[in-house]
Amino acid sequence: MSTPSKTVTLDSRQTLIVTATNLFQKQGYYATGLNEILSLAGLPKGSLYHHFRGGKVDLAIACVESLAGQIVLHLQRATLSQQSYSELISQLVRQADTWLQSNNWSCGSLFATLSHEAKPEDLALKASLKDSYRCIQEALAQLLQEQGLSESKAADVALSTVFSLEGALSLSAALGSAGPLKEAETLLLLRVSESMQ
Amino acid sequence: MSTPSKTVTLDSRQTLIVTATNLFQKQGYYATGLNEILSLAGLPKGSLYHHFRGGKVDLAIACVESLAGQIVLHLQRATLSQQSYSELISQLVRQADTWLQSNNWSCGSLFATLSHEAKPEDLALKASLKDSYRCIQEALAQLLQEQGLSESKAADVALSTVFSLEGALSLSAALGSAGPLKEAETLLLLRVSESMQ
DNA sequence: ACGACCAGACCGATTGGTCTATATTTGTAG
DNA sequence: CTACAAATATAGACCAATCGGTCTGGTCGT
C-alpha cells in the first residue's frame, strides 16, 4: 500500500535503528558491540557504514532522533484529541510498567542511558539529546497550555514531568518494582492539580 | 589520628575507589578503562587486583557501597541534628548545582549510570545498587518520620525524593541548566507540605 | 621468612573502523 | 524494450588499538 512493493524485509536502516535502540536500552551504549547489533539485525558491517557514515555514534544519534520523533508525535496527537494530562500520565506509566515487566526490569530510557555514557567530547550526541529533551518538553507544555495553564506554568510542569518519569523509570528498573512509577504518577497529578488549582 | 600513621599517601584502596567513582560519574562504566583509572590514581595493575579480586566489577561495587554509605551517614546526621526536610532538599539541590557547574555539566549520578550500564548478568552489581537505593530511601524515611509523617507516607515521600533528584540531576546535566534541579526542589516541597498538611 | 602490597610485562579476546569486491536498483539514451 | 553506466546497498575479510585479566617478581614492614 504505502510502500511501493520493494522487498519483503524492512528498510535496513530502520532495522539497524530499532535493534540498536533495543540493545542500548537493555545494556547501554558501550556494552553493546557493533557485531552484536549487526548479527541481531542480520546485516553485514558494510550496511551499517553505508547508512551511518560516522559509525556507532551516528547510529546512536539516529536512534535518539527517531525515538524523540515518535514521542513528540504521540504527544501532539494527544493534544489534538484533547486527552487530559492526567490520562496521559496514567497511560505513560502503565506503558512503562508493562514494558519493564515484560523485559524483566532490565531496561531503561535510551536518553538517560546515552546521556550518562556520552563522553564530554561527544558533542553531536549530546546536542541531539539536549534537543530531544527540549522538543519533548515543548510538546508537553503545549498540551498543558491547551488545558488552561499559563505558558510559564506549563513549561515548569512539563519539565517536572520529564525528569520525574525519567527518574522513576530508572529507579523502577533498578528496584524491580513499579513503585517509583506509581509514585511519580501521584506526584505529577498533585503537581498539575496545584498548578490549575 | 584515626589512621595509625602508616604512610603519607592515602590508602591505595580508597584512592582507587575515589578516582574510579569520579571517572564513572563523568564517562560511565564501560567508557572508563582500567588503565585510565590506574594512571590517574598513580597505581599499577597489581594493586587493583590485590584489593579487588573480582576486577573492575568489584571496584564498581565498592564505589557504590562507599558512596551509599556516605549518603546514608549524611542523612542520619541530618536526622539527629533535626534538620528539616525542606532545608535538606535545598541543601542537596544547591550542592548538586555547584558540583555540576564546576564540572561543566558533564557528570551524573554514579547509581544511575551503573544501573543503566549493568548487564542483566551482573547480579552482584545490580544487587548492591538495589541495596544502596533501599538504604538511602530508608534513611530519608526515618528523617521524615521524625518530622511527623506516618510510616507509609514517609516511605512514599522518600521514594519520590530519590527518583526526582536522580531524574533532575540527569536532566540538568543533559540540558546544562540548573532548571530541572530547581523544579525538583519546588516539586518536593509541595509534595511534603501536602503530606504534612 | 612471611604475608601484604606494589610493579608492570604479557596475553587472548574483542572493539570500532577501513577497505575492496559484489549485488542490486535506478536513470537515461537509443 | 534494451543497454549500459551511475548510484545505492550488501557482504565480510581484515586491521590496529584497546580491553579486562593473569602472572611472575620484587619490596616492604613485622
Between CA A96 and CA A164 the distance in angstroms is 13
Average pLDDT value for residue range B21-33: 98
pLDDT band at B6 (very low <50, low <70, confident <90, very high): very low
Q: Which chain B residues contact residue A31 at CB under 8 A?
A: 30, 117, 119
Per residue in B52-99, pLDDT (tens digit) is: 999 999 999 999 999 999 999 999 999 999 999 999 999 999 999 999
Q: Flag if A183 and B170 touch (Cβ within 8 Å).
A: no
Q: What tens digit of pLDDT does each residue of A123-133 get?
A: 999 999 999 99
What pLDDT was estimated at residue B2? 34
Q: How confident is the model at residue A9 (pLDDT cuts 50, 70, 90)?
A: low
Nearest to B180 among A106, A130, A163 (CB): A163
Contact residues on chain A for B184, CB-CB shorter than 8 A: 160, 163
CB interface of B with A, residues 105-144, below 8 Å? 106, 108, 111-113, 115-117, 119-120, 126, 129-130, 133-134
Rounded to the nearest integer, the mean pLDDT of chain A is 95
Burial of B64 (0-12, 13-18, 19+ CB in 10 A): buried
Which pLDDT belongs to residue A94?
98
SS3 readout for chain B: CCCCCCCCCCCHHHHHHHHHHHHHHHHCCCCCCHHHHHHHHCCCHHHHHHHCCCCHHHHHHHHHHHHHHHHHHHHHHHHHCCCCHHHHHHHHHHHHHHHHHHCCCCCCCHHHHHHHHCCCCCHHHHHHHHHHHHHHHHHHHHHHHHCCCCHHHHHHHHHHHHHHHHHHHHHHHHHCCCHHHHHHHHHHHHHHHHHHC
Which nucleotides of strand C come closer than 7 angstroms to any CB of the protein?
A: 4-10, 14-21, 25-26
Q: Could you say which residues 6-65 of protein chain A have a Cβ atom less than 7 A away from any atom in strand C?
A: 6-7, 30, 32-36, 45-46, 49, 54-57
> Minimal CA–CA distance to A31: which of B110, B122, B18?
B122
pLDDT of A3 > 70? The answer is no
CA angle in degrees (0–180, nearest 5) for A189-A191-A193: 65
pLDDT at A30: 98
Nucleotide nearest to A54 (CA to C1'): C17
pLDDT at B178: 98
- pLDDT tens readout for residues A132-141: 999 999 999 9
CB of B155 within 8 Å of any CB in chain A? no
Judge: B115–A156 Cβ closer than 8 Å, yes or no: no
Single-letter code of the amino acid located at B141: A
Is A28–B112 a contact, with Cβ atoms under 8 angstroms apart? Answer: no
Burial B50-63 (b: 16+ CB within 10 A, else e): ebbeeebbbbbbbb
Confidence of residue A29 (pLDDT cuts 50, 70, 90): very high
The confidence score (pLDDT) of residue B10 equals: 73
List A residues 64-103 in contact with B (Cβ-Cβ < 8 A).
none
Q: Which nucleotides of D are covered by protein (CB under 7 A)?
A: 8-14, 18-25
B9: confidence class by pLDDT, cuts 50, 70, 90: low
- Taking alpha carbons only, the member of B156, B87, B152, B180 closest to residue A159 is B180
Rounded mean pLDDT, A159-168? 98
User: Measured between alpha carbons, how far is B101 from B107 in angstroms, rounded to an integer?
Assistant: 10
Tens-digit pLDDT profile for residues B119-166: 999 999 999 999 999 999 999 999 999 999 999 999 999 999 999 999
pLDDT top residue among A3 and A96: A96
How confident is the model over B94-116, as a mean pLDDT? 98
Q: What's the whole-number average pLDDT of chain B?
A: 95
pLDDT in tens, A81-118: 999 999 999 999 999 999 999 999 999 999 999 999 99
SS percent in chain A: helix, strand, coil, step 5: 75, 0, 25
How confident is the model at residue A197, as a pLDDT? 83
Confidence of residue B100 (pLDDT cuts 50, 70, 90): very high
Question: d(Cα A21, Cα A59) in Å, to the nearest integer?
Answer: 9
Q: What is the pTM of this model?
A: 0.94
Question: Which of A57, A171, A193 is the best substitution to test chain B (most B C-beta atoms within 10 A)?
Answer: A171
